[in-house]
Amino acid sequence: MNIIETGLSGLLIIEPKVFGDERGYFYESYNKSTFDNLGLEFNFVQDNQSQSFKNVLRGLHYQIEPYAQAKLVRVFKGKVLDVAVDIRKGSSTYGKWHGVVLSESNKRQLLIPRGFAHGFVVLSESAEFFYKCDNYYSKDHEGGIRFDDPDLAIDWQIDRSKAILSDKDEALPLLNEAINNFTI
């Protein structure tokens, strides 16, 4: 497994070792022992899956304490631009974002620690997206930030007019207005 640092503390790109031949491929998408040995000790308790079509943009989402979640995200089919934003008050990278293309072909994963908002946009005709969480979902602890917050200036790699969002995501607040109890 290859680990690539993003410049945002704790936010890591994971490249699994893929074994392939004329029959196809095999790789471990997650091995707790391997992660623990690398100091990436998470107790993942929930797996989630979504399927979305081209230009669907989901996010930016997070859960506040005590239901904050670290996530390990990957794409099974298709291609997305995955984005994480540091929302930990006191962090030297507060309000900074990192985006990475995750796809069925590159098999990359993004490890997103607690204290980050997360979202993605589908770049292929459709995408199947999988992620592990280290805490359970709680509707009462949902938080979010507008995907087009001008202070974040995220390049989603699609034309804004083509973005397909839920009504809920369209109504999210800007970062400076969002409920957020993360600190460093």
Task: Say which of 62, 94, 131, 141 is annotated catalytic.
Answer: 131
Cα distance between residue 104 and residue 86, in whole Å: 26
Pick from 61, 44, 45, 79: nearest CA to 157: 79
Task: Write the CA distances from 112 to 1, 73, 125, 131, 176, integer angstroms.
Answer: 17, 8, 25, 10, 21
- Identity at 90, one-letter amino acid code: G
> Which helix (H) or strand (E) covers residue 158, if one does?
none
Pick from 57, 40, 45: nearest CA to 3: 40
A 10 A CB-CB count for 156 gives 20
**Which position has the token pair 């690398």?**
38
> Catalytic: 118?
no
Task: Say which of 61, 62, 98, 118 is annotated catalytic.
Answer: 61
As annotated, the active-site residues are 61, 131
